Amino acid sequence: MQSLFDTDGEIEALAPGAVLLRGRALGVDAELLATIEAVAQAAPFRRMVTPGGFEMSVAMTNCGAAGWITDRKSYRYTAADPGSGKPWPAMPAVFLSLARDAATAAGFEGFVPDACLINRYETGARLSPHQDRDEASYDHPIVSVSLGVPATFQFGGPRRSDPMKKAALRHGDVVVWGGPSRLAHHGVLALKSGEHPLTGRCRFNLTLRKAF
Ligand code: MD3
Ligand code: FE
């Protein structure tokens, strides 16, 4: 049902090359969450350590041919889960088709991600501003899907000193970042206490990329 006040279905340009597709994942939200649970059974969520020695507040796992990790050595993509030595779980078809459809809607045709980082935020978890620079090429967009408790996202430009804007990312929102926005600095403010019927007190974010 559509009310005057909801914004689901709207398409908003956040910046050149950055497109917010409000509520785009709502039709498959339960399927995405069940799939996250299945991935996490094979490759559990864990809080990784940065090269600087800090434990991240966001818990992470991956699926697809490539998975993003950090440890004392570096930030990088690996074909295997360092926790188990086994390949990351395969990229689920529902992730692949959502990413491709969203990229097409944003003007990036033919996007085929090989990596999906799954972030799990509990109350207080945050991601400080950074660039996504560990991929082999920056010619492909990145698709992100938000599920559960809403978060405030911040994004700037290619320079750390560029001013940052804020946007609320709610359950079902999809953002596509490509072209001139591909190397924008971005982060997520500390998750506020909240509850969502499908995720409890958590927020999940899928980040679909072409890494290799
Ligand atoms: C802007 N994740 O995992 S997704 C990350 O909500 C990450 O968990 C955030 O940043 C999250 O690296 C934000 C939105 C996003 C993803 C990639 C981008 C924004 C981006 C790449 C370039 C510019
Ligand atoms: Fe990022």
- In tens digits, the chain (212 residues) has pLDDT values of 555 456 888 998 999 999 999 999 999 999 999 999 999 999 999 999 999 999 999 999 999 999 999 999 999 999 999 999 999 999 999 999 999 999 999 999 999 999 999 999 999 999 999 999 999 999 999 999 999 999 999 999 999 999 999 999 999 999 999 999 999 999 999 999 999 999 999 999 999 999 99
Nearest CA to ligand 1 atom 23: 184
In a domain, residue 2? The reply is no
* Ligand 2 centroid from CA 134, angstroms: 10
In a domain, residue 134? The reply is yes
User: Does ligand 1 have an atom closer than 6 angstroms to the CB of 155?
Assistant: yes
Q: Using CA atoms in the order 146, 148, 92, 76, what is the torsion angle rounded to 10 degrees? A: 60
Q: Can you say whether residue 9 is alpha, beta or left, with left for phi > 0 and alpha for psi between -120 and 50 degrees?
A: left
Q: Which of 88, 120, 80 lies closest to 206 in space, CA to CA?
A: 120
Q: Which of 189, 190, 168, 109 lies closest to 143 in space, CA to CA?
A: 109
Model pLDDT, residue 126:
98
Nearest CA to ligand 1 atom 12: 132
In a domain, residue 118? The reply is yes
Instruction: Report the alpha-carbon distance of residue 58 to residue 83 in Å, rounded.
Output: 17
Model pLDDT, residue 206:
98
- Residue 66: burial class (beta carbons within 10 Å; 0-12, 13-18, 19+): buried
User: Does ligand 1 have an atom closer than 6 angstroms to the CB of 142?
Assistant: yes
- CATH number for the domain spanning 71: value is 2.60.120.590
Count of domains for the chain? 1
In a domain, residue 61? The reply is yes
Model pLDDT, residue 2:
54
Q: Which of 188, 190, 194 lies closest to 117 in space, CA to CA?
A: 188
Instruction: Report the alpha-carbon distance of residue 46 to residue 110 in Å, rounded.
Output: 32
Model pLDDT, residue 8:
86
| Enclosing domain of residue 23 | 11-209
Model pLDDT, residue 7:
81
In a domain, residue 3? The reply is no
* Ligand 1 centroid from CA 207, angstroms: 7
User: Does ligand 1 have an atom closer than 6 angstroms to the CB of 61?
Assistant: no
Instruction: Report the alpha-carbon distance of residue 132 to residue 8 in Å, rounded.
Output: 27
User: Does ligand 1 have an atom closer than 6 angstroms to the CB of 60?
Assistant: no
In a domain, residue 5? The reply is no
- Which ligand ends up closest to the CA of 142? 1
In a domain, residue 41? The reply is yes
Nearest CA to ligand 1 atom 17: 142
Q: Which of 68, 203, 205, 208 to mutate to test the pocket of ligand 1 (most atoms within 8 A of CB)?
A: 205
In a domain, residue 1? The reply is no
User: Does ligand 1 have an atom closer than 6 angstroms to the CB of 117?
Assistant: yes
